[in-house]
Structure 1
């Protein structure tokens, strides 16, 4: 069974909706709402239709959506998103966790207080998000293919993306779909539960945060234990994603999601492993790589913008160029003379 990543199309809306219904609470970038998904896919299609190598004012408010497709059946089994520059269309809020140290001579004691500050420090970064893989396909490296394909897309269109990149991981959500962090912080000021606030954010954006969220720091010690322990912790299902991000060079630097307290991972874009290691080469032969030299298992991609495609395959370095296996070549629809970007699996 062969899978490939391709750019999403507006006609994918029903398949996206079916996946969104499986996503659960806290999945802001993939809401189970047809109108919102349709608008998202239309926006992505418009971005894909812009042929410029780069935008005159730097990375813009662009969205790119990719899907995981079964080559044989055309069935969609996953999706992921890339935001070229967050904070262009509206403020991008995070909480930043800091420590204030104070000393009392009279008590001869030093006190260290952790505080959460509402911040827009990460505005101007690119973002990878919206990663969803169908539960039936969470094996065989497909999650890795889906996640890392975004980095090849960025490498292939590097001028459209920012020097820094981030990824927000879903935070701790209880069995009822609630968030102890939201209940202790945001819920005090908005008069709505976590699921309602998260759904509203997915459909309407987070300007209401700017309107109602207090601007003063929140002292972590004043929160209940359940909220404190959720700060910077990923959802149980998000821990593999966190490990993948760390393997790519992302790190947690004290920024957390304003809704559920989940960690925001950041990296320098050019230092992300799959971006720094990506190479573009011309296909010389389509053949079983064995016998042509050392065989490497790679993520391979081709195309530009709307014609982007990515799959797993085997390659080797021939005397006159890249040798790629026939199954991967068919999934990518490449022929000798075409350019393929690849990075070691």
Structure 2
């Protein structure tokens, strides 16, 4: 069974909505709300229609499609520059050391400081794979296809890139981290706050969240234990990010306390190692790769096989068919 990644279109609203209902909460970039999803698709369509290669506040949505049936079975998103429409908030883990001469004692206190350090970064997020398709490396295809898209449209993305991982959510759908901090000030459950953020953005955080640092020692045990930890379902995603060169730099999500991973865009492995050449013809077999072609709305990516040459590249017939590629088209690829 063959799958292809392509740019999303307005027709994808219904399958995205059906998948959003399966996320289980804490998934801000894919809310189970038709108007919000429609707005995302419209924003992506506007970005795809802009041909100028320059940095702007844009969103690109891609989908995983079963090439045989046309069914959409996964999705992911790329934000070119966060923190432009409203502040992009994170907590930053810091340490304050204080010393008493009289007691001859030093005390180190860990703090959570509200920050907008990551404004202007690009972001990869909104990755969701239908539960029935979580095999055969499709999550890897969906995640890494974003980096080929970025490499192919590099001028439209920032020099730093981030990925937020969902934090720990309990069996009731609540967040121990939110209950210990945000819930004290907003009078909202985690699910209510997370949903409001997904639909309206997080400007309400700027309006109501206390700006002073939070002493971690003053939080209850259940909150302290989850700071910077990914949800169990996100551990594989965290390993994939680390393999791409992302690292945890002490930034955590203000809602659920999950880790925010960052990297220099040009140092992300799948971007740094991406190569491209014109398609010269077909081959019977080749190197196993992620292959992509097509600009903006014509972007397509799949698992494929390529044979590089001096003047171009050959691909297998199946790869060419999945990419809808013709001789002369620019083929991008990175090793699997």
TM-score by length of 1: 0.96
Deviation track 1:266-308 (CA, whole Å, cap 9, x = no partner) reads 000000001111111111121212xxxxx42111000000110
Distance 1:160 1:321 in 2: 26
1:235-250 matched pairs, under 5 angstroms: 235-250=231-246
Structure-2 residue corresponding to 1:292: none
Structure-2 residue corresponding to 1:29: 29
Q: Is 1:10 matched up with 2:20?
A: no
Structure-2 residue corresponding to 1:287: 283
Secondary structure of residue in 2 paired with 1:23: coil
Deviation track 1:244-264 (CA, whole Å, cap 9, x = no partner) reads 000000000000000000000
Secondary structure of residue in 2 paired with 1:19: helix
**Equivalent of 1:303, from 258, 279, 294?**
294
Contact 2:82 / 2:123 at 8 angstroms: preserved in 1? Answer: yes
Contact 1:10 / 1:42 at 8 angstroms: preserved in 2? Answer: yes
TM-score by length of 2: 0.99
Q: Is 1:145 matched up with 2:145?
A: no
Secondary structure of residue in 1 paired with 2:289: strand
- Pairwise CA RMSD: 0.9
Secondary structure of residue in 1 paired with 2:22: helix
1:64-75 matched pairs, under 5 angstroms: 64-75=60-71
Distance 1:304 1:187 in 2: 44
Structure-1 residue corresponding to 2:328: 337
**Equivalent of 2:227, from 213, 228, 231?**
231
Secondary structure of residue in 1 paired with 2:60: strand
1:84-233 matched pairs, under 5 angstroms: 84-233=80-229
| Consecutive unaligned residues in structure 1, runs of 5 or more | 290-294
Structure-2 residue corresponding to 1:39: 39
CA shift, 1:319, in A, is 5.4
CA shift, 1:84, in A, is 0.3
Aligned residues: 336
Contact 2:249 / 2:262 at 8 angstroms: preserved in 1? Answer: yes
Structure-2 residue corresponding to 1:327: 318
CA shift, 1:151, in A, is 0.5
CA shift, 1:223, in A, is 0.3
Contact 2:283 / 2:307 at 8 angstroms: preserved in 1? Answer: no
Secondary structure of residue in 2 paired with 1:99: strand
Secondary structure of residue in 2 paired with 1:214: coil
Q: Is 1:268 matched up with 2:259?
A: no
Structure-1 residue corresponding to 2:48: 48
Structure-2 residue corresponding to 1:256: 252
Contact 1:286 / 1:335 at 8 angstroms: preserved in 2? Answer: no
Secondary structure of residue in 2 paired with 1:244: helix
CA shift, 1:317, in A, is 2.1
Distance 2:225 2:303 in 1: 38
